[in-house]
Structure formats: structure tokens, C-alpha cells
Structure 1
């Protein structure tokens, strides 16, 4: 079958340009093999990264039809099927089936599909993703883990550092201080590792402002594009859970936001907007500057009839409260160390 490949190309110091290549391909042929053939048969100047070709090294991550993926994992048929679900499929009289390939986001382009990943590695280093030196300094015995302890590391340990989640991270795009989902997924691995002795220090570090877990906007893009099902957002949520267990609502606005949200939903089944801003931003009248900052927004809401003057609990509030408390109890039990005889 004939397929048109549209590739975003860019030379150092120049603006991006679109270049098209037509190729006769097999439906099961990988995108990486198609790129290889374009380079070998049509244009030797095309630049992209590759290595293992087996979904192990993560080198060939790029944006394929608008989302970051591994070129060695995705094939022509799957990409065309996916595109037909998102866009209107071409009719017989229209142009050839098309696959658009672009460099990853949130990183500067070096050339064509090759990006500079220094910020990616710097942010990974910032979370210190390795077992602490002090914890390793026990020469008289091995670090033995139970199967249960080791299983806590399985999902986050599958990360191959391809950069797909980092590329699609909305929080990283608007906040250059945010370390990124890849770093925080690795960070949780250290928190959960029974061999590490710095969990408390790590959690304090990951709790800082919007650089750590509170900078995540929970858009789920990182989960949707991860080729190894690491689910970075889930790992970020686990770190938040560990922090929330250790902190009260006065620790920071981010923590207060989460705790007040849960408390209000438990009370009424959904959020009472009259109380939410006052309790979170105004810290229940403790933060006068925060209260004043709510003034313009409150006035606009009143003027447009969007400020609720009354609050009616939702139906099934009792069931909602029971569900939340059950989840909280389960989380507490799973976080408590098991007793051994």
C-alpha cells in the first residue's frame, strides 16, 4: 500500500518545514522501518534516533500523528486506524493515507526528529533516583527483599526513559520548574524501595511548591502515551498520598486544597464552592491576603449570577462518604508496616 509520510524537519537555527515522502509499505511495517527506508532509499539527510528496535531502549520516541510514541513499536496499520478514528478517513478520490511525524515536545530540536534531552536528564537527576549511599553501606549482609516489597517497584521500574510522557506534559510546558512525570515516577520507586533510608527527606523534597508533585495538572497525557504502562500519574498520586498522610492542612495551600476538597465532598457529596475558596485560599480566614485575592473573582461571579447563595447536598451523600472513608481506611492499612511474628 502507498502511504504519504509528512515529516517535520528543522535545521539548526532555522524554522520548521514540512517535507513529504511517498512509500510503498506493508500494513505491519513499523514506523521506524519506514523511516529507515526513507533515509536509505530517498533522503540520507533525514535525522532521527534509533537503537534497539525492540521497545527496550526508548531512543526512537517521536510524535506520530500528534502523540508521542516509540517508532519501533507502532506500525503503519495501527497508526492509520487510529488516525481514521480521530480524523475523517480519506475517500477513494482523496489523497493517500497519511502519517505525520514530528519531534517530541518540551525539548529544543537539534535537527529534524532529534531533540536535546538535557532538561529531561537534569530533572531526573534532581529527584536522586538511586538508593541512598548510607542505606547501601552494610557490608555484612545482602539487601534481601520479600516478594511483596519487590512487587512495589515493578510498575515504576519498567520505565525506559524514552521521554514520551515528558514530551506531552502540559505542566512542564507552562511551568519550567516542574521536574516532569518521568522523574516523579522514578521518585516513587525510591519512596517505595525498602532498601532506601531517605523516604522522609525525599517526600519533603517532592512536596516543594510546583516543582514536585503539586505541579502536576493531572491531565493524564503521561499515562496515555507511556509505552511501558508505567502510569506516571498514578505514581505521582502515590507520592501525594504519602505526603498527605504526614502533613496537616496548614502545611501548604496545595495540601490544604486536597484535604478541603475531600472533606467538603464527604460533607455534601460535592464541593460547596462558597466554602472552598475561603478555606483553601483564605485558609479559613487565617490568610487575609488570600481572602483579598478572592475579591475580584467573587465579584465577577456575583455579577454573572454564578455564585451559589445556597448549598444543597447531593443525593447519595451517605454512600459517597462511606466510599471515601473505605478508601482512606484501605490506604492507611496498606501504608502501615506489616507485623511479623
Structure 2
């Protein structure tokens, strides 16, 4: 069995060819840390991370966790803006870490990262999502029909009928909209934008027969009327849903007595 000899000059040429010339930057992250077993209050900790402009905030968090401080705690799953797991406040705005590119931030200044607001803080960037999902479940976000489809047939719906609620089918339950709402921060009973959006999706679905029931639920004092139309939720939504518009449409449906 022969051993191939490698020309050192050839190696250097390959390395030079592989070098894309993409510049890296030293970026400072200031992360709000909290360990319930150690800390009485959250504290800010800074990290310097070498990144490329095409990296995302999630890449930076991975680098910190894997190479600097393994105790850093945050949620993530798909890393492609679909699961909604990594919603957090980045420079004071609710965003998905996996969709926030370093090049879109001002790296001449530190990048501040903290957990979303309005939900109980568990550790570092992780919050207790149960109150959020409790509101979501309360609006019964599933199809309720009083009749069965014909045997072997699907429930037919026109393109026009589908378009009425198409926007609100895009919700990924990341809680970015709900936790950006000032009313939700101060009133733990408010359903919040995400629950109303998911109620909207079925209230206006022509195949559903429980719209009036959901409208009654949202006509509660902690329902749609708590919305102050600040548009924070619309701005925060990573899926581009017109959340405030959906809430306004639910309010109108309540006043009309039906969708």
C-alpha cells in the first residue's frame, strides 16, 4: 500500500483558494442572565464573539454556549423561523434569534439580548410559556363543525372564503406578539394578540360552526376590548401577520353579533 506525498506548495495554494476573504467582526453581546438557584435578580453579562455579517443572533448564542459559557440557557429548535422557539428581545425588540442577521444590527454598539416580557422568567432567555398556551387553548383553536362531510368527500371551501382568514393561518405561536403588548405586561388575564389571532382563524372559517361561541369568549372584559391598538404586536410578528387588523376584525364581528 503506497502513501501519497503531498506538495507543500500545493497545500498553500488550496488554502489560499479556499479563503473567501469574508471579513469577521468582534461583536459584543450583553445578555440578561438569571439562574434561579443562584441569583436573586437578573444580571447583565457581556460576551465578545467573533462573527461574520451573515451570521444570525442564534449563531452567536450557540458560539457563546459551545465555546465560552455552557450554562447559557435558551430555546431553539428548527433554526429556520418555523418553530417559533427562539423568540427573545434583541436590542429592545421582540424577534426570532434565527431570523435576525448580524448585518442588520449596529455592531458598533453592544447587542442586548433578554427574555421576552410578560411571562414568568425561568432561566436566562427561557420563560414559562404555560400562561400563553392556556389563553390559546381557551379560544378552542380547532375546527368545530355541527355536521360531518359527505362520505369520501372533503369540506369544500372557495378561494374567496379561504382568503378571509388566510393571514391568521401563518401564526407559529412564538409569543413575540403577545409579549410585546403593554396590556399583557401589566394584566396577566388578558388573552393577548396570539390567542385572538388563532380565534380569528376559525371565527372567519366558513367550515366552522363555533364562531359565535369564540366571540362570546373574546367579548369578556379580558378579551378583545383590552387591546389599545398600539400596533406593537404587528411590528413584532416574524411572520408578517397583520395582528392589529385581525383583532379589529374580531371586534367588528362581536359588534355585529357574528362573522
TM range, smaller chain: 0.7 to 0.9
Q: Which residue in the other structure is 2:32 paired with? A: 8
* Larger fraction in helix: 1
2:134 is matched with 122
Q: Does residue 1:112 correspond to 2:133, yes or no?
A: no
Shift in Å at residue 30 of structure 1? 0.2
Which whole-Å CA distance do the structure 2 matches of 1:97 and 1:178 have between them?
A: 36
**2:247 matches 1:236:** yes
Q: What's the TM-score once normalised by structure 2's chain length? A: 0.85
User: Shift of residue 202 of structure 1?
Assistant: 1.9
1:41 equivalenced with 2:67 (yes/no): yes
Deviation string 1:66-119 (CA, Å, 9 cap, x unpaired) is 1110000001121217xxxxxxxxxxxxxx531000001011111100111000
CA displacement at 1:203 relative to structure 2: 1.5
d(CA) in 1 for partners of 2:47, 2:204: 47
**Preserved CA contact (<8 Å) 2:145 2:207:** no
Give how far 1:245 is off. Answer: 2.2
> What corresponds to 1:68 in structure 2?
94
Give me the whole-angstrom Cα distance separating, in 2, the residues matched to 1:18 and 1:171: 26
User: Does the 8 Å CA contact 2:73/2:123 hold for their aligned counterparts?
Assistant: yes
Q: Distance in 1 between matches of 2:257 and 2:53?
A: 53
Q: Which runs of 5+ in 2 are unaligned?
A: 1-24
1:207 corresponding residue in structure 2: 219
Rounded Cα–Cα distance in structure 1 between residues aligned with 2:253 and 2:81: 32
Contact residue 2 and residue 97 of structure 1 kept, 8 A: no
Preserved CA contact (<8 Å) 2:118 2:186: no
Aligned residue number for residue 231 of structure 2? 220
Give the unaligned 5+ runs of structure 1: 82-95, 248-334, 336-341
TM-score using structure 1 length = 0.65
The higher relative CO (CA closer than 8 Å, separation ≥ 6) is in: 2
Aligned-pair Cα RMSD in Å? 1.6
Instruction: Name the SS for the 1:23 alignment partner.
Output: strand
Tell me the alpha carbon deviations over residues 226-260 of structure 1, each in whole angstroms, 9 at most, x when there is no partner: 0001122111100111122239xxxxxxxxxxxxx
State the Cα deviation string for residues 171-230 of structure 1 (Å, max 9, x = none).
112222210000000111111111101122221221122x11101111110001100011
Match of 1:24 in 2: 50
Q: What is the CA distance between 1:139 and its match in structure 2?
A: 5.0
State the Cα distance separating 1:28 from its structure 2 match. 1.7
**How many residues matched?**
232
Q: Which residue of 1 aligns with 2:11?
A: none
Q: Distance in 2 between matches of 1:71 and 1:146?
A: 37
Shift of 1:133: 5.0
Query: Alignment partner of 1:6: what SS?
Result: strand
Q: Show CA shifts across 1:123-147 (max 9, x none).
A: 0011111111534x33533201111
